[in-house]
């Protein structure tokens, strides 16, 4: 597993992820020197940026000022040793998931969770990505853009990783001492990408619909559901392994262990059964369940990490081999209530 944090977070969840804390969590892979800002994206993607501006992602840099979150933000900050709430935008405890930072001559916060938080710092890929006249072949443009650091929406696994890297907190102290939630309430990729985050202005033939924010395709929802659930298991196992404080008074390990248990013993078996059982379901899902069942959640941390690594490999393989068309049997499991209202041009 890439032990990292990339920025992808809703301010309403008040998730502050610590960089470089006790569990070895790395700093964000969104390097400020590669950030160009959403204004540059808006030159070609006006409607996408307008959709972003209407979302809570864009307002996450106001977590310490917004009437709905400022009191809670101040409380967590104080418990974590941040004496002044106005220091939140400059503190690595908060900036990795609530802010987008840019470094030109100086390092500064330029926005909340932004385009580049999800799609990568655009300094090296922005011009290649948009050179339709000079590079008319779409596949070639995508190849070069990916090599320069761009994450495309169709890369389900990589995009989903961005979300879970922040929506599941991996710092024990932040939860047990700071009082921060260990994970986003009822977080799943289907609801959250079909709601206020939705910015689909291209159809499957890459024709642009400037004034229509298209619904997420059902095939993609199926992938979001299965990839998201299995990533949730992987990250919960990693959180469980990293925690050292045990007991009901320390919610970090308790939350991670319960979530891993529910996926292993309830949710994933139900999905596999719907897909025809172990003989018919995608082999990667079957293997993930096998790995989970064989993992002692109260056991040695190194064994739990080893299981998470093995699960990660299976998730990546599943995402690469599936396009969602063969997963129709799980449609009944797909969440029906989008998170927020989709942007309308």
Task: Determine the Cα–Cα distance for residues 51 and 73; give it in Å rounded to an integer.
Answer: 26
pLDDT for 186: 85
pLDDT for 28: 59
3-state secondary structure at position 101: strand
Report the residue count for the chain. Answer: 345
pLDDT digits (tens, 9 = 90+) for 188-197: 999 989 999 9
Strand partners, 107: 103
Confidence of residue 270 (pLDDT cuts 50, 70, 90): very high
Q: Is 14 left (phi over 0), alpha (psi -120 to 50) or beta?
A: left
**Whether pLDDT at 274 is above 90:** yes
**Whether pLDDT at 159 is above 90:** no
Which whole number is the average pLDDT over 317-340? 95
pLDDT digits (tens, 9 = 90+) for 231-266: 999 999 999 999 999 998 999 999 999 999 999 999
End-to-end CA distance of the chain: 38
DSSP category for residue 155: -
pLDDT digits (tens, 9 = 90+) for 281-324: 999 999 999 999 999 999 999 999 999 999 999 999 999 999 99
3-state secondary structure at position 45: coil
pLDDT for 29: 65
Confidence of residue 218 (pLDDT cuts 50, 70, 90): very high
Average of per-residue pLDDT values in the chain = 89
Task: Determine the Cα–Cα distance for residues 269 and 286; give it in Å rounded to an integer.
Answer: 9
């Amino acid at each position: 597993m890439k032990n990292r944090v990339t920025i992808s977070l809703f301010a309403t969840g008040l998730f502050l992820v610590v960089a470089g804390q006790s569990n070895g969590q790395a700093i964000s892979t969104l390097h400020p020197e590669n950030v160009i800002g959403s204004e540059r994206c808006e030159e070609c993607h006006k409607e996408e940026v307008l959709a972003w501006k209407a979302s809570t992602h864009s307002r996450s840099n106001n977590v310490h000022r917004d009437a709905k979150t400022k009191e809670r933000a101040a409380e967590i900050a104080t418990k974590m040793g941040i004496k002044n709430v106005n220091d939140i935008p400059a503190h690595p405890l908060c900036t990795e998931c609530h802010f987008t930072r840019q470094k030109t001559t100086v390092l500064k916060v330029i926005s909340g969770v932004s385009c580049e938080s999800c799609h990568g710092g655009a300094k090296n890929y922005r011009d290649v990505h948009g050179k339709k006249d000079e590079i008319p072949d779409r596949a070639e443009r995508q190849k070069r853009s990916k090599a320069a650091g761009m994450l495309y929406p169709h890369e389900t696994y990589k995009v989903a990783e961005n979300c879970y890297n922040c929506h599941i907190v991996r710092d024990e102290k932040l939860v047990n001492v700071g009082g921060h939630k260990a994970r986003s309430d009822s977080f799943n990729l289907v609801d959250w990408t079909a709601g206020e985050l939705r910015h689909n202005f291209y159809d499957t033939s890459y024709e642009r619909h400037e004034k229509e924010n298209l619904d997420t395709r059902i095939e993609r929802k199926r992938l979001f559901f299965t990839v998201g659930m299995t990533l949730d298991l992987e990250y919960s196992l990693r959180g469980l392994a990293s925690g050292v404080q045990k007991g009901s008074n320390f919610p970090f390990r308790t939350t991670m262990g319960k979530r891993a248990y529910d996926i292993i013993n309830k949710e994933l078996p139900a999905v596999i059964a719907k897909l025809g059982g172990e003989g018919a379901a995608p082999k990667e899902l079957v293997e993930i369940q096998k790995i989970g069942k064989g993992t002692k959640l109260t056991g040695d941390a190194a064994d739990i990490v080893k299981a998470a690594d093995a699960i990660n490999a299976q998730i990546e393989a599943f995402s690469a081999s599936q396009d969602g068309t063969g997963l129709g049997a799980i449609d009944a499991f797909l969440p029906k209530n989008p998170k927020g209202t989709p942007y309308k041009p």
